Structure 1
Amino acid sequence: MAKDKNLINKLMGTQTMEDEQETDLETTNVQQEGSSEDWLSEYEGQLTIDMYQTKDNVIIKSTIAGVKPEDIDVTIANDMVTVRGERKRDFEASSEDYFYQECYWGSFSRSVVLPVDVDIENVSADLKDGILTVVLPKAAKSKAKKIRVGART
């Protein structure tokens, strides 16, 4: 049975040097099977968001620097909001030319469940200084109405 190779074992000293070398070898083999660019092209980045409420609205904010408004799609279906987009490279560089490669380029998306009902007809979204702001007006709460039951004869 394979030993559990995780960060906690490593920190507690229960992972042996042989286990660590085996993990390093497995990682190297995976990296050699395909280039990092191939792996990244299959990966869709996840967008980080802040979602909060005011008295009348649910607000979603996200940092989306380097993306044009026409490359962002905000969709609401049932009780789920999805923000999708693509950050396109405007330059060419091979992986050998990089000293650091930390920026994410390519498609990204994030879906979140809305905590309250919203009025989807009046949702607005704008992008200013690399910050996407989606304003979702809360739906009017329906008031309970007592229905009188009549008798049929």
Structure 2
Amino acid sequence: MSNLVPRNRLLDNFFKDFSEGFFIRPLHGDSLPEQIRIDVQETDNAFQVSAELPGVKKEDIHIDVQGARVTLKAEVHQQDSSKDERSLRSERYYGSVARSFELPSEVETDQASARYEDGVLKMELPKRQKSPGGRKLEIE
């Protein structure tokens, strides 16, 4: 079973040999991968998250952290061709993709940071420190 190739890749591989020189058929780009791939590391004080977002501009990445839940959203715009150009083939990704995941503990959002370099988003998400003990409530 592990040697089976997914159906869409099997057809792509079959027609790949015929596309060069035999015919050119117009394509209008693929959508972004279905899911953003991430790595999460944990230290004593923080979570370090790396997310692959190739081809995405920094301003098209949105990060939302609420409690222990992290949501990443990214969008890639396809460049419109001018009226005197005709697109013969376009295989680059375009569209939107999003991913949410839950961390083992809440994040201190005021101290969280993120940077984007070479298609990889790196986030430093400090753990929220729990206050020692509880709080005594006064009865009014």
TM-score higher than 0.5 here? yes
- Counterpart-to-counterpart distance in 2, 1:91 and 1:119: 41
- Counterpart-to-counterpart distance in 2, 1:126 and 1:146: 37
Q: CA 1:65/1:97 → structure 2, altered by over 3 Å: closer, same or farther?
A: closer
Alignment partner for residue 58 of structure 2, among 62, 69, 91? 69
Letter paired with 2:89: D
Alignment partner for residue 114 of structure 2, among 119, 125, 132? 125
The structure richer in strand per residue is: 2
Q: Which runs of 4+ in 1 moved over 3 A?
A: 90-94
The structure richer in helix per residue is: 1
When Rg is computed on C-alpha atoms for both structures, the one with the higher figure is: 1
Letter paired with 1:52: Q
5+ residue gaps, structure 2: 5-26
Q: TM-score w.r.t. structure 1 length?
A: 0.58
Q: Which has the higher contact order (CA 8 A, sep 6+)?
A: 2
| RMSD between aligned residues | 3.6
Q: CA 1:77/1:146 → structure 2, altered by over 3 Å: closer, same or farther?
A: closer
Q: TM-score w.r.t. structure 2 length?
A: 0.63
* Contact 1:73–1:85, Cα closer than 8 Å, also in 2: yes
